[in-house]
Amino acid sequence: MRPDSYAGGSPRPPAAPVLAVLALGTAVLGTSELGVSGLIPAISADLNVSAGAAGALVAVYAVAVALAGPVLTAVLGCLPRRRVLIAALGTLAAGNGATAAAPGFPALLAARALTGAAAAVYVAIALTVATGLAGSARRGRAIAVVFGGVTVSTVLGVPAATALGSVVGWRAVYGVLTIASAGALVAAVRVVPEPAAGSSPPLPAPVRTLTRPRLLATFTVNAVITAGYYTASTYLVVLLTRQTGLSTAAASAVLLTNGIAATAGNLAGGVAADRHPQHTMIVAAALVAASLGVVPLVMTDSILTWLVTLVLATAFPAFSTAAQLAVSQQAGSAADVAAAVNISVFNTGIAGGSAVGGLILHRAGFTGVNLLGAALVLAGLAGALLAVRWSRDPVSVEPVSVEPVLEPAPVAVRVAYGDDRPAALDVWREANSARGRPPDAQRIARVRAKLAAPDALLLIACAGTKVLGILLAEPGRGQDGQGPRLDGLCHISMVFVHPDHWGRRVGELLIGYLADQAGSHGYLRLQLWTGADNDRALRLYRRVGFVPSGRISQTDSGAAIVQFVRSAAS
């Protein structure tokens, strides 16, 4: 079974309708989570509790997200993702309904905890389903769409909930959210595809994956940078009204424009992350740190403060989107649980940063809060830079699929047939796109012609019917490939592996097969060229017996390339 197969053997469905439904779900849960803050006075009066006690509704939701989300996602990992997604939406609707009908404060707390746990599971599964549907080259954009639902809830949902609550009461607000949750549930049932028969990996594999040092480092970076951002941003309204001197209406206008900027930053971060997720994290975090550091210098000027907060509001969502993509890529088959843990990490950073900011605000004022936030973000940025230095290939990870199988099909190598060429071209295109080099129409046409050349030998590595990697071999020629054919020399012109299967030694299998079978095709020696700075390829070719010939050349763009050779019989 192919990881991207669906019920009835249908191919991967169009992603746009599914992403829209997933974003609808995050918009509803975002409004449910954040909208309670504006309703606390009404809840306090209705249930005869203090405003401080009513504030526990925010805390219990956050605790449920942080603790229950990863545990439930791991426990439910043996079930199909679509089923878990729909169950989470149903629980979210039930939690909102229980909130609206709560007879007292304890029941309301329980309803909020239930809603928080369901929301954490939903977001984790939605992110994994979205990235699986989008394909390797568009996963960042898929994450941005799902996160965009939360951004929309911040810009539109929360103000609407607050305004509606002031007119018809807080229970009516959660009644409306119950209906909206049910609508998202119905839409998910109709639109989210049914996976093909199969089951997810057993629980121990994802849990072990979460202990990888690089993934733990990414979690830590995310927590520290998020804490730094919320150390200062939690008190933005207070800064605008007390320090900058804006009216409440003007501060609200600033928040609205910041919400629009956050939406743009989220989408831009998704596009950039599809090319370089960790580089996007670094650039966005640097902008956050710089903005926080500049705030103390301009906070008495309303226009400059507004401009700086716009940069801040744009940069942090871009960081969050890229960080989630990095986690998804590094976690591989444990993407569900890793997403839930990352959501927990973000919530921990939010809670920790807000608490620390409150303590510092009373002692060092707005200058101290923003400088501390900048320092924390810089510390996280240093960690992100170390992570990039640690591994120069941020996208070489385990595959992430919509519905992984229990036992992957064995990888086999064979000579390609004519009808294998479209799949081979897709592998080449996906691999180049994942490396940040999406091919244009001219390159695609040129490679299509090479794959169909009569004297070319095309090998494919496949698992079942899915093509994982390709190798194209051609007769070797003199004069840098332009001269006459040289007897017995085989030139390997391309080796590409689909990015979903990097790290599985598919390239080794392809080259090993060619070396074993080269004699039957009249070849005695193998040669290839590769980039002088392509450390991953250099390690691969040395591992399978190639040695440098000493020849160095340049591509048309001026990049240095080196030649490797080996005997077909070795």
For residue range 191-208, list pLDDT tens digits in order. 887 654 444 444 444 455
pLDDT tens digit sequence for 62-79 = 788 888 878 887 777 667
> Residue 213's pLDDT is what?
77
Are both 367 and 505 inside the same structural domain? no
Contact at 8 Å (CB) between 201 and 77?
yes
Are both 228 and 330 inside the same structural domain? yes
CA distance 350 to 254: 21
Are both 378 and 425 inside the same structural domain? no
Highest mean pLDDT among 322-331, 348-357, 504-513: 504-513
User: Is the model's pLDDT at 394 over the cut of 60?
Assistant: no
Backbone conformation region of residue 382, classed left if phi is above 0, alpha if psi is from -120 to 50, else beta: alpha
What ranges in 234-334 are assigned the alpha helix state H? Answer: 236-238, 248-275, 277-298, 302-331
Contact at 8 Å (CB) between 225 and 320?
no
> Residue 304's pLDDT is what?
93
Are both 61 and 173 inside the same structural domain? yes
Are both 187 and 207 inside the same structural domain? no
CA distance 131 to 468: 18
The 457-463 sheet, strands edge to edge? 411-415, 457-463, 466-477, 485-497, 525-531, 560-567, 547-554
Provide mean pLDDT across the span 458-475: 89
Residues with Cβ within 8 Å of residue 75, at least 6 apart in sequence: 203
Are both 269 and 123 inside the same structural domain? no
DSSP collapsed to 3 states, 408-435 = CCCEEEEECCHHHHHHHHHHHHHHHHHC
User: Is the model's pLDDT at 114 over the cut of 90?
Assistant: yes
Provide mean pLDDT across the span 519-534: 81
Residue 56 lies in domain = 1-198
Highest mean pLDDT among 249-263, 285-299, 451-465: 285-299
CATH number at residue 140: 1.20.1250.20
Are both 438 and 338 inside the same structural domain? no
pLDDT band at 395 (very low <50, low <70, confident <90, very high): very low
Contact at 8 Å (CB) between 161 and 523?
no
Coil/strand/helix, residue 174 = helix
Lowest mean pLDDT among 94-98, 136-140, 278-282, 445-449: 136-140
Domain boundary among 371, 403, 435: 403
> Residue 425's pLDDT is what?
92
Backbone conformation region of residue 366, classed left if phi is above 0, alpha if psi is from -120 to 50, else beta: alpha
CATH number at residue 553: 3.40.630.30
Domain boundary among 139, 171, 198: 198
> Residue 341's pLDDT is what?
85
Domain boundary among 198, 231, 259: 198
> Residue 197's pLDDT is what?
42
User: Is the model's pLDDT at 401 over the cut of 50?
Assistant: no
Are both 32 and 170 inside the same structural domain? yes
pLDDT tens digit sequence for 212-238 = 777 788 889 999 999 899 888 877 777
User: Is the model's pLDDT at 471 over the cut of 90?
Assistant: yes
Question: Which residues partner with 548 through β-bridges?
Answer: 564
> Residue 7's pLDDT is what?
42
Are both 176 and 224 inside the same structural domain? no
pLDDT band at 374 (very low <50, low <70, confident <90, very high): very high
Are both 331 and 352 inside the same structural domain? yes
pLDDT tens digit sequence for 528-568 = 988 887 777 888 888 888 899 888 887 776 778 888 998 87
Are both 327 and 368 inside the same structural domain? yes
Q: Cβ–Cβ contacts within 10 Å for residue 480, how many?
A: 10
pTM of the model: 0.62
CA distance 506 to 411: 8
Q: How many domains does the chain have?
A: 3
Are both 78 and 100 inside the same structural domain? yes
pLDDT tens digit sequence for 128-165 = 888 777 765 677 788 888 888 888 887 788 778 878 88
pLDDT band at 10 (very low <50, low <70, confident <90, very high): very low
Closest CA to 343 of 26, 102, 15, 76: 26
> Residue 157's pLDDT is what?
80
